[in-house]
Amino acid sequence: MESKVVGLLGGGQLGRMFLEAANRLNIKVNVLDAPNAPAKQISNHDGHFDGSFKDPEAVKKLSKTCDVVTVEIEHVNTQVLEEISGEVAVEPSWKTIRTIQDKYAQKEHLQKHNVATAESLPLESNTVEELEKVGQKLGLPFMLKSRTEAYDGRGNYPVKSSSDFEGALKALGQKPLYAEKWANFKMELAVMVVKGKDQVLAYPAVETIHEDSICKLVYAPARNVPSSITKKAQELAKKAVSCFWGKGVFGVEMFLNQDDSLLINEIAPRPHNSGHYTIEACPMSQYEAHLRAILDLHLDEEGVQPYRPSVMLNILGGASPQSAAEVAKKATEQSTALRVHMYAKGDARPGRKMGHITVLGSSMAKAEGLMKPMIDVVDEVRRSRTDIPAPSSGSSEPKTKQTKALVSILMGSYSDMPVLDAGVQILEKLGITYETHITSAHRTPEWMGEYVASAAPSGIKVIIAAAGGAAHLPGMAASHTYIPVIGVPVKPTIGDGTDSLLSICNMPRGIPVATVGINNSTNAALLAARILGVAEDEIAESIRDYAEGNRKEVMEKEAKMQQLGWKGAMQEWHAKK
């Protein structure tokens, strides 16, 4: 298809998945890495090179066989890349790789381009005195980091107080270091960015969960993060990548802080663990995106829109060399919904990335449910390890799941609660998540409008609003949103409720309210369920079950009436009264 040949430095799992994409498009990739490296195992031609991807001579030899040289790892020799770049394309540019290799230089570069990132200071000497100075400038705690050759948390040391100074220097003191202001984040996000010839595209902002400083889980898209923030994250990631040179995909990791601000944590100039989910979840995987970017093939937004929400779980080595294969085996036994990727790296060293599992769900809750048993399996494997010094710190523990509400129930005052309770009970019974709010069309018009407008972006699918008398809440809610609004007329103290019903039902053309019977929140809830059932098979299923229950109840009453006869039934009815 494409006659250009790609040269790849490194043939680990990222290289292997890159080769999968290249194979499908029939594009030749020559790999430089050790014999039988994971990527080489799925590419059978005589263009590969055995050797270290850091060896200048080997890199030069590889470069003579291809049209563009790229990397699956940033810890390469950028001197030789600079040298060969006169004769062959190097993507992304050696300048980008060199800047990113040195984490402090990376941060400095971002700050120079006004990209939000944690305040950082280089250490002039690896001494206790220098750490004291840094502590005064950045405050304590701060994070001490190796400027180079750091990945998967290796090279990071949290300095919580001055008593940590000596330990930190002992751990990292052999390397050039820098210090980073402590990030008070509530969540870690990541965005894969594609930098092509003339455009920059962002995949969704995903939520990453780290454990022992290694990526454990990826939720795509990030859970419970409003779209206003995920959009900001995508923009920040694009801005960050745009200030580097050359083409390719970039993994951008960032912190979402307590105040909802975002800070770039670090950038990888290559496919990234946080983008594995794209293989199944998006039309264009991050690997195909990298290939398209470096070969100047067409790029557009279609490919980065996910089909469905997904969860990715890493398979790390445990205590035994077979541990990862055992996890994979369990995944294949668990469910055929789980897509298992094994990297064929040989023995599973503790903590080594051996494979991953991706699952897509019709909803994030469905995907989470499918993955849950495998999280338990990898947690068990982790507990068997003896190489982990201590339980990981709070911030890297998996967050407890907050279930996102699908239905929002609005009422003008507490007094509407008894009317709505029956509906709430139906939602509970059907397993439909909901939230309830007091907001009045007349007494809090701004808050009502603001809340309703933000409901859909935050994941609400249907609104139920109850009101009595001059019942304006459902209609006003419908005016502030485009999702279905169900109106429950509440019978007022004076009158039979027809006023409420007509106030809700007779809306002007253009703004519909789905009106149910007076005080009938049961039907409002069931209608919400039917509406959600259009998108969610599981909910449709539970409505059928519920209806079947009702049908049975009536049929049982009928059977009883026939059994007791009219008089007997009448008697029983009086007795129960």
- Interhelix angle for 537-576 vs 417-430, to 10°? 120
Nearest CB to its own copies, comparing residues 81 and 220: 220
DSSP 137-148: HH-SSEEEEESS
Query: Binding string, 344-373, against its own copies, x = CB under 8 A?
Result: x----------x---xx---------x---
Determine which residue in the list 137, 329, 383, 401 makes contact with its own copies, applying CB under 8 A. Answer: 329
Instruction: Rule CB under 8 A: say whether 400 interacts with its own copies.
Output: no
Total number of residues binding its own copies (CB under 8 A)?
90
Q: Which stretch binds its own copies (CB under 8 A): 23-31, 91-99, 175-183, 563-571?
A: 23-31
CB of 406 vs its own copies, minimal distance in Å: 9
Q: Contacts from 469-473 at CB under 8 Å and sequence distance 24+?
A: 469/495, 469/499, 469/500, 469/503, 470/499, 470/503, 471/499, 471/500, 471/503, 471/504, 472/441, 472/442, 472/503, 473/410, 473/411, 473/412, 473/439, 473/440, 473/441, 473/448
Which of 317, 375, 381, 368 lies closest to 343 in space, CA to CA? 317
CB of 415 to its own copies, least distance (A): 21
**Interacting residue with its own copies among 105, 200, 337, 569 (CB under 8 A):** 337
What does the block give as tokens for 522? 């049961």
Residue 284 in the binding site for its own copies (CB under 8 A): yes
- Map the footprint of its own copies across residues 66-85, applying CB under 8 A: none
- 232-270 CB burial, b ≥16 within 10 A, e <16: bbbebbbbbbeebbbbbbbbbbbbbbeeeebbbbbbbbb
Give the number of C-alpha atoms closer than 13 A to the C-alpha of residue 204, restricted to the C-beta side. Answer: 28
Nearer to its own copies, 148 or 520 (CB): 520
The radius of gyration of the chain's CA atoms, rounded to the nearest angstrom, is 29
What tokens were used for 431?
A: 């397993």
Site residues (CB under 8 A) for its own copies, limited to 422-461: 422, 461
When the beta carbons of 105 and 505 are compared against its own copies, the nearer one is: 505
Residue 333 makes contact with its own copies by CB under 8 A:
yes
Question: Mask: binding to its own copies, 498-517, rule CB under 8 A, as x and -?
Answer: x--xx--xxx-xxxxxxxxx
Residue 28 and residue 88 in contact, taking contact as beta carbons nearer than 8 Å: no
Instruction: With H, G, I as helix, E, B as strand and everything else as coil, classify residue 384.
Output: coil
339 touches its own copies by CB under 8 A: yes
557 binds its own copies (CB under 8 A): no
Residues 464-493: x where in contact with its own copies by CB under 8 A, - otherwise, as a string: ------------------xxxxx-------
Tell which positions 228-267 bind its own copies, by CB under 8 A: none
Which among 93-101, 112-120, 212-220, 333-341 is the span making contact with its own copies, rule CB under 8 A?
333-341
**Amino acid (one-letter) located at 79:** Q
Tell me which of 229, 297, 453, 569 binds its own copies, using CB under 8 A: 297
Complex with its own copies: residue 79 or 550, whichever CB lies closer: 550
Of 129, 174, 258, 283, which one interacts with its own copies (CB under 8 A)?
283
